[in-house]
């Protein structure tokens, strides 16, 4: 599942999955390349510093672009006077809201990239300059005079929902409530999911636990700040180089905001230094294009880390209530949750995804979830790995853990007893196809970690989690080169080694060695539209397109061989990288290798290629279960992660190294979210920790090795059985760690992050309560 | 703005440049000399993506002025492989798939090489603490630590 981050509040919700393709069990039983661990094609460039990321591009005559940002969290912009800045020697262009025409298709994106009537958060862009050097550009920013009328602000989700809160947008009338409100508020939408009768379900329960939870907003924390270089010609022919998870999406939005034809804007995705959902959206690119158009020269904009924190999208903060009932023998009779997420200054907090995934691990007769998408004076949120799910699952899995203890049942057994499986109706609507939750739970139970002994002040937590996964629009090309090598072009930026997986799948299908295949990420003028690298879709969708393109090339090569042998094409089969006569009746010919067919392609009909374009469906859900041992220092409240194990269903691991890497990376981000990371706002509505020193992400000395177990329950909707693996790994850690810390500290932790002061306070409060 | 003339050595080669007083060594490397292997992740000394060595000592090039390179020997990621021959740290990072996006990788290579030159036989904990100044958001560090331990073993001839 993926949300187009720049569409106004429009999550993509598919009720029924009708897979585009089917699992090929026979093929999967004899893989030769799939499942191996070769070096990635871009690896050498990355260990030597040759790889070019967003900020590494230089175009001739390039100017430096800088953005002026609002110091106020909420203010009317009465006037902007840039005349002095424009007059400064070396300044080649200044742009403000007046340089962008209103745009109904991308109204929120436009408002976010350049403030219009109001500045809606500290860091909101209000003007930009392009100058011959950074010092000149900096000086120019200081010369821009903005007259603000400061308004009251709100940054907390519950406060933003109160009737007296300052209202950000006077055109937001809450959707999904009946009757519709008559007045604007900060609540964008209410949505509801579930089935059965929860009141009847709670009536059957022997034990019911109801709790409230909160989580802080966290940032994706990619190490590479957003950067781009734009070059707009006088005739409108434009090029844009940028680090993005979706260059086709960037092209679409930028062309629309700039009012130029899509065909005139060629966007190249640079190497990308992390994204995790945060680079699925557009922040600086239209500004750079507008500056370049005005200056008539290329313009580079590279965000600073401060800007990344203040003005690119973090994930939502949440406030949640969860109530679950269970019988003495461990059957969950009903589940209820209310999830209130703030997603910054514009619609789109992933509360609905949170509500949909909250109970997804359980096959329940009675379940209901409600979601509220709320705006506040914070930067426009962006997707962050399984957007919305880690928080709601934290709340649900905490209560499940507590219920297991209450009825004296092993927490894995309780989960196994209620686990979602094939045919079960999911809490968000559709029935599950084949899926691997039970397998991950069983693997967790059997894992030595689960039965290892614990030391003093240590506690073990487990939790399961889920993500929908997504397919989407995809287009890939494959060319057979004259020397018998193969080049693949995909349209999905490679964020974690996916080019290696593409090469593996093509090599498998064509029957040639991995190192004969090279994959590139093509620019937007070279391929048809591709959805963004998001929703754990790339290895699934682009991979399937590569498989289909390979099959098309194989068909063509068989045809060429048939031509060379002068037999019917149907009488040729493809085996181990060679065309062969399909049987004794077809004739007696020596097999022709891919290289041999390629070498003579010019004489048999010209270049040989394959391509595939489709809208991929059948992505196949992914479940995971995490086990973590935590140690709590009762004196300071500091939590250490002692041991960590990730068990997740990958369907089929194409390149196991990078599957493990996704598991480990998701767990590490979850550890940061659970223990340290948080957006801290002062009463002044300003972010107090916009830097890596104060927004503390896990470093190497904070973490143990992270063990992984790859479970493979084939996805019936992919020829090799692939399921996306990128996102599920961040869903269980918040809950697993909170369960571990709660066990170690002897008190239920209901607020994240579990930073030392918060843990210490919980311990002290529990002591006071016990006295 | 008056420029400062600097003569220095980078990866063994004599280099001269004129920089502004406020420019960091990282700015000079990236913007003046076209050496973009060193990355800017924070410009505040917190991420290590800009790691270089100055007279052999591991340094964040974002925390040092370009002018301060006068008369020093600077080592950057571009100077670590000898032609097509990778340093063991680079090779082991590849072998262990110890990168995902790879933007942190140059910094880790420079920092790990500096560690192994000082301490050929570090424990896992020592590696973790030495590399605590290098942020990686993708990998959870597991494979990076393994790669550095492997490289250490190889360099010791094990
Ligand atoms: S850029 Fe120098 S430490 Fe981050
Ligand atoms: S591999 Fe992406 S930050 Fe380290």
Q: Which residue reads 């991308």 in tokens? A: A106
| pLDDT greater than 70 at residue A15 | no
- Residue range B71-93: mean pLDDT, rounded: 97
Helix or strand run (H / E) with residue A756: helix A756-770
Dihedral angle, C-alpha A601, A604, A607, A608, nearest 10 °? -90
| pLDDT greater than 80 at residue A19 | no
pLDDT-derived band of residue A587, with 50, 70 and 90 as boundaries?
Answer: confident
Q: What are phi and psi of A751, to 5 degrees?
A: -140, 135
| pLDDT recorded at residue A18 | 66
Could you say which residues from 130 to 149 on chain B have a Cβ atom under 8 Å away from some Cβ of chain A? 131-146
The residue ranges of every structural domain in chain A are: 27-52+471-600, 57-151+226-273+279-303, 317-469+620-770
Per-residue pLDDT of A501-516, as tens digits, reads: 999 999 999 999 999 9
Could you say which residues from 86 to 105 on chain B have a Cβ atom under 8 Å away from some Cβ of chain A? 86, 90-91, 93-97, 99-105
Q: Is A310 helix (H, G, I), strand (E, B) or coil?
A: helix
**Structure token digits, residue A13:** 């919700």
Q: Taking CB atoms and an 8 Å cutoff, what residues of chain B touch A697?
A: 135, 137
Q: Which of A47, A272, A274 sits opposite B94 (nearest CB)?
A: A47
Residue of B nearest to A63 (CA): B31
Distance CA(A316)–CA(A351), nearest Å, equals 8
Pick the closest to residue B39 from A268, A222, A522 (CA basis): A222
The rounded Å distance from CA B46 to ligand 1 centre is: 6
User: Is B103 within 8 Å of A53 when comparing Cβ atoms?
Assistant: yes
Considering the domain A57-151+226-273+279-303, what is its CATH architecture?
Answer: Alpha-Beta Complex (3.90)
Pick the closest to residue A666 from B100, B132, B138, B134 (CA basis): B138
C-beta B29 within 6 A of ligand 1: no
| pLDDT greater than 80 at residue A524 | yes
Q: Are A194 and A427 in contact (CB under 8 A)?
A: yes
- The contacts of residue A659 (CB under 8 Å, 6+ apart) are A650, A653, A708, A710, A725
- The contacts of residue A172 (CB under 8 Å, 6+ apart) are A184, A185, A186, A187, A188, A347, A375
Q: Which atom of ligand 2 is nearest to the CA of A274?
A: 2
Enumerate long-range contacts of A99-107, CB under 8 Å, 24 or more apart. A99/A290, A99/A294, A100/A257, A100/A286, A100/A290, A101/A259, A103/A256, A103/A257, A105/A256, A106/A6, A106/A253, A106/A256, A106/A257, A107/A8
Q: Is A429 helix (H, G, I), strand (E, B) or coil?
A: coil
Pick the closest to residue A666 from A645, A688, A695, A638 (CA basis): A645
The rounded Å distance from CA A342 to ligand 2 centre is: 28
| pLDDT greater than 50 at residue A16 | no
User: Is A225 within 8 Å of B49 when comparing Cβ atoms?
Assistant: no
Domains observed in chain B: 4-75 (3.10.20.30), 88-155 (1.10.150.120)
pTM: 0.97
**Structure token digits, residue A610:** 């394959």
For residue A707, what are the β-bridge partners?
A: A645
Helix or strand run (H / E) with residue A302: strand A299-302
CB atoms inside a 10 Å sphere around CB A107: 14
**Structure token digits, residue A39:** 């070096």
Helix or strand run (H / E) with residue A750: none
Fold for A27-52+471-600, please state it. Aldehyde Oxidoreductase; domain 4 (3.30.365)
User: Is A496 within 8 Å of B101 when comparing Cβ atoms?
Assistant: yes
| pLDDT greater than 70 at residue A608 | yes
- Residue A31: DSSP 8-state: -
Q: Is A232 helix (H, G, I), strand (E, B) or coil?
A: strand
- Residue A356: DSSP 8-state: H
- Residue range A164-190: mean pLDDT, rounded: 97
Q: Which of A37, A45, A701 sits opposite B97 (nearest CB)?
A: A37
Q: Is A48 helix (H, G, I), strand (E, B) or coil?
A: helix
Using CA atoms, how far residue A221 sits from A390, A452, A531, A661, B93, in Å, is 16, 33, 23, 17, 22
The verdict on B48 touching A (C-beta cutoff 8 Å) is: no
Distance CA(B144)–CA(A698), nearest Å, equals 14
> CATH topology of A57-151+226-273+279-303 equal to that of A317-469+620-770?
no
Q: Are A84 and A387 in contact (CB under 8 A)?
A: no
Least confident range from A46-50, A395-399, A580-584, A670-674: namely A580-584
pLDDT-derived band of residue A317, with 50, 70 and 90 as boundaries?
Answer: very high
The verdict on B80 touching A (C-beta cutoff 8 Å) is: yes
| pLDDT greater than 50 at residue A128 | yes
Q: Taking CB atoms and an 8 Å cutoff, what residues of chain A touch B74?
A: none
Mean predicted lDDT score pLDDT of chain A: 96
| pLDDT recorded at residue A1 | 56
Distance CA(A542)–CA(A113), nearest Å, equals 30
Minimal CA separation from B152 to chain A, in Å: 17
What is the 3-class SS of A432-468, one letter each residue? CCCCCHHHHHHHHHHCHHHHCCCCCCEEEEEEEEEEC
User: Is B22 within 8 Å of A135 when comparing Cβ atoms?
Assistant: yes
**Structure token digits, residue A767:** 């002591």
C-beta A223 within 6 A of ligand 2: yes
Distance CA(A121)–CA(A404), nearest Å, equals 43
Least confident range from A323-327, A538-542, B5-9, B26-30: namely A538-542
- The contacts of residue A356 (CB under 8 Å, 6+ apart) are A193, A369, A427, A428, A429, A468
CA A112 to chain centre: 20
User: Is A661 within 8 Å of B97 when comparing Cβ atoms?
Assistant: yes
- Residue to substitute from A37, A44, A48, A134, interface B, most B β-carbons within 10 A: A48
pLDDT-derived band of residue A80, with 50, 70 and 90 as boundaries?
Answer: very high
C-beta B47 within 6 A of ligand 1: yes
- Residue A240: DSSP 8-state: E
Protein residue closest via CA to atom 3 of ligand 1:
B45
- Residue range B38-55: mean pLDDT, rounded: 98
Per-residue pLDDT of A423-443, as tens digits, reads: 999 999 999 999 999 999 999
Q: Which of A48, A223, A705 sits opposite B41 (nearest CB)?
A: A223
CATH number of A317-469+620-770: 3.30.365.10
CA A700 to chain centre: 23
Q: Are A321 and A211 in contact (CB under 8 A)?
A: yes
The rounded Å distance from CA B117 to ligand 1 centre is: 22
Query: Interface pTM (ipTM) of the complex?
Result: 0.98
- Residue to substitute from A309, A653, A667, A699, interface B, most B β-carbons within 10 A: A699
CB atoms inside a 10 Å sphere around CB A90: 16
Q: Taking CB atoms and an 8 Å cutoff, what residues of chain B touch A276?
A: 137
Using CA atoms, how far residue A230 sits from A16, A126, A236, A255, A554, in Å, is 41, 19, 12, 12, 40
Burial class (CB in 10 A: 0-12, 13-18, 19+), B26: buried
DSSP letter for each residue of B15-53: EEEEE-TT-BHHHIIIIIS--TTS--S-SSSSS-TTEEE
Q: Taking CB atoms and an 8 Å cutoff, what residues of chain A touch B138?
A: 274, 496, 661, 665
The rounded Å distance from CA A519 to ligand 1 centre is: 31
Per-residue pLDDT of A192-215, as tens digits, reads: 999 999 999 999 999 999 999 999
Distance CA(B150)–CA(B155), nearest Å, equals 9
User: Is B1 within 8 Å of A692 when comparing Cβ atoms?
Assistant: no
Pick the closest to residue A314 from A273, A272, A352, A342 (CA basis): A342
| pLDDT greater than 90 at residue A357 | yes
Burial class (CB in 10 A: 0-12, 13-18, 19+), A119: buried
Distance CA(A428)–CA(A362), nearest Å, equals 11
Q: Taking CB atoms and an 8 Å cutoff, what residues of chain A touch B143?
A: 657, 660-661, 664
Instruction: Report which of residues A697 and A587 the model is more confident about.
Output: A697
Residue A259 backbone class (left: φ over 0; alpha: ψ -120 to 50; beta: rest): left
Minimal CA separation from A538 to chain B, in Å: 14
| pLDDT recorded at residue A218 | 98
User: Is B101 within 8 Å of A271 when comparing Cβ atoms?
Assistant: yes
Per-residue pLDDT of A230-269, as tens digits, reads: 999 999 999 999 999 999 999 999 999 999 999 999 999 9
């Amino acid at each position: 599942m993926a949300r187009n981050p720049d569409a106004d509040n429009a999550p993509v919700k598919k009720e029924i999955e009708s897979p585009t393709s089917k699992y090929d069990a026979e093929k999967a039983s004899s893989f030769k390349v799939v499942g191996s661990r070769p070096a990635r094609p871009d690896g050498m460039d990355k260990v030597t510093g040759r790889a070019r990321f967003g900020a590494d591009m230089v175009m001739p005559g390039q100017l430096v672009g800088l953005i002026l940002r609002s110091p106020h969290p909420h203010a009317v912009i009465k006037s902007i006077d840039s005349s002095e800045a424009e007059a400064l020697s070396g300044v080649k262009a200044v742009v403000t809201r007046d340089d962008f025409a209103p745009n109904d298709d991308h109204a929120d994106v436009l408002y976010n990239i350049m403030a219009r009537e109001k500045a809606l958060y500290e860091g909101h862009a209000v003007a930009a300059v392009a100058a011959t050097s950074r010092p000149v550009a900096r000086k120019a920013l200081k010369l821009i005079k903005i007259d603000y009328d400061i308004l009251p602000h709100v940054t907390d989700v519950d406060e933003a929902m109160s009737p007296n809160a300052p209202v950000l947008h006077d055109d937001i009338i809450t959707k999904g409530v009946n009757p519709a409100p008559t007045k604007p508020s900060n609540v964008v939408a209410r949505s509801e999911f579930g089935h059965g009768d929860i009141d009847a379900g709670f009536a059957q329960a022997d034990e019911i636990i109801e709790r409230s939870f909160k989580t802080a907003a966290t940032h994706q924390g990619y190490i590479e700040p957003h950067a781009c270089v734009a070059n707009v010609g006088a005739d409108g022919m434009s090029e844009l180089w940028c680090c993005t998870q979706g260059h086709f999406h960037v092209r679409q939005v930028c062309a629309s905001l700039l009012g130029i034809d899509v065909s005139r804007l060629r966007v190249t995705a640079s190497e990308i230094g992390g994204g995790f959902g945060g680079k699925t959206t557009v922040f600086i690119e239209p500004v750079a294009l507008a500056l370049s158009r005005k200056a008539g020269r290329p313009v580079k904009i590279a965000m600073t880390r401060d800007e990344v924190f203040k003005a690119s999208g973090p994930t939502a903060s949440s406030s949640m209530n969860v109530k679950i009932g269970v019988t003495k023998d461990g059957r969950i009779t009903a589940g209820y949750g209310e999830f209130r997420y703030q997603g910054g200054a514009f619609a789109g907090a992933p509360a609905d995804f949170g509500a949909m995934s909250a109970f997804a691990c359980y096959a329940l007769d009675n379940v209901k979830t409600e979601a509220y998408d709320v705006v506040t004076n914070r930067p426009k949120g962006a997707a962050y790995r399984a957007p919305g799910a880690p928080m709601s699952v934290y709340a649900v899995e905490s209560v499940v853990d507590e219920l297991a203890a209450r009825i004296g049942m092993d927490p894995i057994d309780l989960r196994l007893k209620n686990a979602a499986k094939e045919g079960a109706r999911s809490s968000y609507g559709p029935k599950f196809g084949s899926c691997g939750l039970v397998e991950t739970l069983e693997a967790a139970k059997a894992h030595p970690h689960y039965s290892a002994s614990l030391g003093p002040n240590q506690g073990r937590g487990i939790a399961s989690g889920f993500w929908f996964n997504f397919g989407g629009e995809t287009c890939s090309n494959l060319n057979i080169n004259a020397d018998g090598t193969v080049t693949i072009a995909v349209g999905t930026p490679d964020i974690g080694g996916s080019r290696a997986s593409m090469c593996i799948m093509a090599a498998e299908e064509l029957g040639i060695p991995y190192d004969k295949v090279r994959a590139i990420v093509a620019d937007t003028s070279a391929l048809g539209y591709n959805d963004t690298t998001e929703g754990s879709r790339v290895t699934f969708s682009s991979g399937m397109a590569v498989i289909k393109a390979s099959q098309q090339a194989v068909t063509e090569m068989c045809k060429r061989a048939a031509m060379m042998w002068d037999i019917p094409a149907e009488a040729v089969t493809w085996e181990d990288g060679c065309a062969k006569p399909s049987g004794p009746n077809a004739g007696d010919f020596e097999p022709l290798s891919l290289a041999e067919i390629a070498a003579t392609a010019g004489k048999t009909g010209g270049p040989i290629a394959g391509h595939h374009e489709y809208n991929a469906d059948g992505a196949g859900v992914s479940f995971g279960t995490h086990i973590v041992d935590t140690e709590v220092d009762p004196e300071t409240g500091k939590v250490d992660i002692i041991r960590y194990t990730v068990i997740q269903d990958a369907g089929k691991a194409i390149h196991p190294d990078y599957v493990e890497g996704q598991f480990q990376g998701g767990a590490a981000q979850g550890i940061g979210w659970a223990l340290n990371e948080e957006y801290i706002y002062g009463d002044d509505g300003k972010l107090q920790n916009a830097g890596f020193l104060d927004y503390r992400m896990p470093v190497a000395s904070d973490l143990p090795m992270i063990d992984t177990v790859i479970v493979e329950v084939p996805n019936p909707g992919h020829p090799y059985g692939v399921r996306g693996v990128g996102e599920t790994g961040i869903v269980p850690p918040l809950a697993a760690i909170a369960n571990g810390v709660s066990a170690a500290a002897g008190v239920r932790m209901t607020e994240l992050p579990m930073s030392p002061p918060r843990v210490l306070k919980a311990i002290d409060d529990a002591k006071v309560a016990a006295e | 703005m008056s420029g400062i003339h600097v003569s220095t050595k980078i990866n063994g080669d004599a280099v001269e440049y004129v920089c502004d007083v406020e420019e960091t060594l990282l700015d000079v490397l990236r913007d003046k000399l076209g050496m973009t292997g060193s990355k800017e992740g924070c410009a505040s000394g917190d991420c290590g993506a800009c790691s270089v060595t100055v007279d052999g000592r591991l340094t964040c090039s974002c925390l040092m002025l370009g002018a301060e390179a006068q008369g020093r020997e600077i080592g950057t990621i571009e100077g670590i492989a000898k032609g097509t021959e990778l340093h063991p740290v680079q090779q082991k990072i590849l072998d262990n798939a110890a990168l995902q996006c790879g933007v942190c990788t140059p910094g880790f290579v420079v920092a790990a090489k500096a560690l192994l030159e000082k301490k050929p036989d570090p424990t896992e904990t020592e590696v973790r603490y030495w590399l605590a100044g290098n942020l990686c958001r993708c990998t959870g560090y597991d494979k990076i630590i393994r790669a550095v331990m492997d490289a250490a073993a190889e360099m010791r001839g094990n």
